[in-house]
Structures are given as C-alpha cells and as structure tokens.
C-alpha cells in the first residue's frame, strides 16, 4: 500500500475546485523543475517526459475553462495557457533552462492569484453560507501579476 498516494487521493477528494486548480499548478511547476534538472543533466528523455506531462496537465486546466461564466478571467487564462504551451514546445526543441525558469516563474505568479481567490473564498465562506468569487477582483489580481503578452 502506497501511503503517500492514499494521502494525496484523500486530500483531492476533500479539496475545493480552487484547491484542485492550485494542485494542478503545483504539479506543472514540479514537472518543469524536474525538466530543468534534466536539461542540466542532458537527459533528453526525462526532459521530454516531464514537459509532456506538464502539457497534459495544462490541457486539463484549459479544457475546464468556462467562457460564459468566467468571462474575461477565462479568456485571460486561455491566452496564458496558449502562451505557456507554445513556450513549452519551444523548450522541447531548444532545451532552454532559462525559458523553463521563466515558465515556472509565470506559473508561480498565477498560482499566487489562485491563492488570493482561495483566501477570498475561505473568508466569504466564514461570513456567508455560499461563497461568491468576485471575477473583477480575480482579473485585476492576475493582470497585476502577469503580463499575458509576455
């Protein structure tokens, strides 16, 4: 029995949608950190596997975007994900540790915006029975942290 896996599965079952998104960001960040190590070690296979996994996670995140409900936030995330995917494809070809580091930094920045959403959701839940997320505040936080045009 894999205790770590059991723990992760239990944590995912009890997570809110925002917490799940944050976990996916953390997974992509870890994949790209491992890909950067693989670049240092000239391990092409590991680099490819880790970048491919990050692209799969990215595809899952992107497939969950709801443009009707999410409005500008969903469109901004779509743009961010498209640029990220494009850069990861470039890293596959160029093996640029610098470009990988930039993608990690960008993911960390957007993850911080999700942390703010979680904080707002948590404080809102403490005050009211149903959490309400202010899309304008999310959009402003994301724009303040990340230049989508890169």
- How do residues 85-130 score in pLDDT, each as one tens digit? 999 999 999 999 999 999 999 999 999 999 898 888 888 766 544 4
Full domain range(s) for residue 63: 18-145
pTM (2 d.p.): 0.73
- Which pLDDT score is estimated for 130? 45
- Which pLDDT score is estimated for 81? 95
Contact by Cβ (8 Å): 47, 40: no
Query: Would you say residue 6 lies in a domain?
Result: no
Query: Would you say residue 95 lies in a domain?
Result: yes
Summary mean pLDDT of the chain? 81
Query: Would you say residue 7 lies in a domain?
Result: no
Query: Would you say residue 127 lies in a domain?
Result: yes
- Report DSSP letters for 57-108, one per residue: HHHHHHHT--HHHHHHHHHHHHHHHHHHHHHHHHHHHH--HHHHHHHHHHHH
Query: Would you say residue 3 lies in a domain?
Result: no
Query: Would you say residue 8 lies in a domain?
Result: no
Cβ atoms within 10 Å of 21's Cβ, excluding its own:
19
**DSSP symbol at 129:** S
CA atoms within 13 A on the CB side of 103: 33
Structural domains counted in the chain: 1
Residues 6+ apart with CB under 8 A from 61: 21, 24, 25, 77, 81
CATH of the domain at 46: 1.20.120.340
Query: Would you say residue 4 lies in a domain?
Result: no
Query: Would you say residue 5 lies in a domain?
Result: no
User: What does the alpha-carbon distance between residue 49 and residue 77 come to, in Å, rounded to a whole number?
Assistant: 24
Q: Model confidence at 17, in pLDDT bands (50, 70, 90)?
A: confident
């Amino acid at each position: 029995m894999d205790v770590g896996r059991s723990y992760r599965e239990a944590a995912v079952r009890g997570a809110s949608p925002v917490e799940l998104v944050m976990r996916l960001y953390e997974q992509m960040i870890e994949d790209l950190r491992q890909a950067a190590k693989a670049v240092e070690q000239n391990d092409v296979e590991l680099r490819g596997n880790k970048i491919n996994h990050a692209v799969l996670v990215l595809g899952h995140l992107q497939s969950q975007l709801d443009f009707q409900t999410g409005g500008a936030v969903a469109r901004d995330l779509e743009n961010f994900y498209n640029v990220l995917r494009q850069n990861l494809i470039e890293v596959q070809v160029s093996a640029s540790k610098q470009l990988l580091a930039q993608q990690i930094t960008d993911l960390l920045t957007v993850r911080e915006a999700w942390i703010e959403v979680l904080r707002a959701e948590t404080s809102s839940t403490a005050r009211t029975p149903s959490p309400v997320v202010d899309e304008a505040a999310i959009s402003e936080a994301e724009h303040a942290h990340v230049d989508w045009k890169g």
